C-alpha cells in the first residue's frame, strides 16, 4: 500500500499554484490536508503524476466575518472549526458538523476546502455547506471567480471547478442569532462516513438538504417550503413520500434512513 511514483511540488503562493496547475503535464492533483487523497494514492486508486501541495500557501487559512458573510479559507482544518473558530450561529452549525468528522487526528489535518473539492458523496461538508448556502471561491488561469454552492457538487468526486482552478475558500451566510439549524448523520459508528445526511438551516431562506446519496446532495424544496411556512415537524413517513419522488436511486432501506436523517434534522432545528 505505497503510492505509485509521483512528483511532489510544494507551492509557495497561490499564484505559483495556479500557474503550476495550468502548465502541468499529466494528471495533476491539488493536495490540501491529504486525508482523502493520501489514502487513495496509497491504495493506488489515484495515481497522479504531480501533486501540488498547498500546505505552505499563505492566505488560505483565514476565518473572517465581513458584514453579511463569513469567509472561510480552503485550508481551514476541521479541528479549527470544531474548536469554535467560526463565529456566531453559522459557527455553531459548522462546529457541530466538524465534530462528527472521523477522529481528531484526521480533523487536525483534513481541510474543509479539500473535502468539498474532493466531493466524496459520503463526506459531511458538501451536504452541510449546501444546506448553509453561499458560495465557493476559486482561482484559475482567468482569475478569481465565485461559484454558488447550489449545484457546485456535480456528482461523486466531481465539482464545478474547472480543470485549472483551485478552490480557495467559501463565502458563507451569517445565520442570525435566532436562526434554527439541524444536522443529522446516519452512520455505523461515531466519525464514520455517512450513510445518510439530513441538513437544515433557516437563515434568510429555509434550506433542507438530503445528503450522502449515490451522487450529489440535493435540496428538497417540498421540505423547504414547509419550513418557510412555519412548519416545525415533518414526520419520517412524510419525508419518505417526498424523497420517493426524487430519482435518487435509493433502495427501501436507503430511502428510510435518508428520510430519518432529514426528519430528525428538522426536529433538531427546533429542539
Partner 1 sequence: MADGGSVDGKGIGARVLRKEDARHLAGKGKFTSDFKRPGQKEMAFVRASVAHAHIKSIVKPAGYEHAIFTSEDLPGLKPMRALSKLPGYKLSDYPALAAGKVRFAGEPVAVCVADSRADAEDIAQMVEVEYDILPAVTDMLAAKKPDAPLVHDEWEDNIVFETFSDDDFQKIADEATVVIRREYRMNRQAMNPMEGKAVFAEWDDRQDQLMMWTSTQVPHLIRNGLAEFLDLEQRQVRVIAPDVGGGFGCKALLQPEELVAGYLTRKLECPIRWIEDRREHLVTGANCREHHYQITLHATPDGRMLGLDCDVTVDAGAYSVYPFTNGLEGAMAHGNLPGPYNFKAYKCRTQTTVTNKPGLMPYRGVARPGVCFAMEMTIDALAREIGMEAHEIRMKNMVPESAMPFMSIAKKHFDSGNYAKSVEMAVDMIGLEKVRASQGVPTDDGRIIGVGMGSYVEQTAHGTSVFSSWGVAMVPGYEQATVRLTPDGGLELRIGVQSHGQGMETSMAQMACEVLGIDPDNVMVTHGDTGLTPYSTGTYASRSMVMAGGATARACRVLAERMEIIGAHLMQCERTEVSIAGGKVVSGKGEVSFAEIGRVWYLNPDELPEDVDQGGVEVTMGYRPEPDSGAFTYASHACKISLDVETGKVKVLDYVIVEDCGTIVNPMIVEGQTFGGATQGIGTALLEESLYDEMGNPGASTFADYMMPSATDAPMYRVDHMESPSPFTEYGIKGMGEGGTIPTPAAIGNAINDALKQIGAEVMETPFTPRRVRAAIEAARDRKEGEAA
Q: Which residues bind partner 1 (CB under 8 A)?
A: 1-5, 39, 43-44, 186, 188-193, 195, 236, 252-253, 256-257, 260
Q: What is the DSSP letter of 73?
A: E
Angle at 142 between CA 137 and CA 147, to 5 degrees: 25
Based on CB atoms, which residue is closest to partner 1, 69 or 260? 260
Based on CB atoms, which residue is closest to partner 1, 53 or 192? 192
Is 255 within 8 Å of 241 (Cβ atoms)? no
Residue 228: Cβ within 10 Å count: 14
Q: At its nearest, how many Å lie between partner 1 and the CB of residue 236?
A: 6
Q: At its nearest, how many Å lie between partner 1 and the CB of residue 257?
A: 6
Q: Which DSSP string do the residues of 125-192 spell out, in sequence order?
A: HHHHHHHH--EEEEEETTEEEEEESTTTEEETTEES--TT-EEEEEEEE---TT-EEEEEEE-SSTTS
Based on CB atoms, which residue is closest to partner 1, 205 or 233? 233
Q: At its nearest, how many Å lie between partner 1 and the CB of residue 224?
A: 22
Q: At its nearest, how many Å lie between partner 1 and the CB of residue 53?
A: 18
Q: Is 166 left (phi over 0), alpha (psi -120 to 50) or beta?
A: beta
Q: Torsions phi, psi of 109, nearest 5?
A: -105, -35
Based on CB atoms, which residue is closest to partner 1, 2 or 245? 2
Based on CB atoms, which residue is closest to partner 1, 79 or 136? 79
Grid coordinates 495550468 are at which residue? 22
Based on CB atoms, which residue is closest to partner 1, 167 or 261? 261
Q: At its nearest, how many Å lie between partner 1 and the CB of residue 1?
A: 4
| 48 Cβ contact list (under 8 Å, min separation 6) | 6, 26, 27, 28, 29, 41
Is 263 within 8 Å of 227 (Cβ atoms)? no
Q: At its nearest, how many Å lie between partner 1 and the CB of residue 2?
A: 4
Amino acid at each position: 500500500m505505497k503510492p505509485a511514483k509521483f512528483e511532489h511540488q510544494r507551492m509557495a503562493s497561490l499564484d505559483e499554484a495556479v500557474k503550476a496547475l495550468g502548465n502541468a503535464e499529466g494528471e495533476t492533483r491539488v493536495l490540501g490536508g491529504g486525508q482523502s487523497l493520501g489514502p487513495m494514492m496509497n491504495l493506488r486508486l489515484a495515481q497522479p503524476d504531480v501533486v501540488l501541495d498547498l500546505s505552505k500557501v499563505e492566505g488560505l487559512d483565514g476565518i473572517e466575518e465581513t458584514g453579511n458573510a463569513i469567509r472561510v479559507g480552503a485550508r481551514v482544518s476541521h479541528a479549527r472549526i470544531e474548536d469554535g473558530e467560526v463565529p456566531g450561529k453559522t459557527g455553531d452549525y459548522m462546529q457541530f458538523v466538524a465534530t462528527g468528522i472521523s477522529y481528531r487526528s484526521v480533523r487536525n489535518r483534513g481541510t474543509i476546502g479539500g473535502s468539498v473539492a474532493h466531493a466524496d458523496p459520503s463526506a459531511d461538508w458538501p451536504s452541510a455547506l449546501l444546506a448553509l448556502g453561499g458560495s465557493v471561491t476559486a482561482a484559475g488561469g482567468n482569475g478569481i471567480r465565485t461559484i454558488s454552492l447550489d449545484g457546485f457538487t456535480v456528482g461523486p468526486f466531481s465539482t464545478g471547478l474547472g480543470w485549472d482552478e483551485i478552490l480557495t475558500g467559501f463565502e458563507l451566510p451569517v445565520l442570525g442569532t435566532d436562526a434554527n439549524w439541524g444536522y443529522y448523520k446516519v452512520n455505523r459508528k461515531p466519525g464514520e462516513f455517512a450513510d445518510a445526511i439530513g441538513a437544515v438551516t433557516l437563515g434568510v431562506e429555509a434550506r433542507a438538504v438530503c445528503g450522502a446519496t449515490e451522487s450529489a446532495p440535493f435540496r428538497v424544496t417540498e421540505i423547504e417550503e414547509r419550513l418557510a411556512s412555519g412548519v416545525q415537524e415533518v414526520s419520517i413517513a412524510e419525508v419518505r413520500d417526498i424523497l420517493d419522488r426524487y430519482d435518487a436511486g435509493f433502495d427501501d432501506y436507503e430511502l428510510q434512513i435518508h428520510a430519518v436523517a432529514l426528519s430528525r434534522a428538522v426536529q433538531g432545528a427546533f429542539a
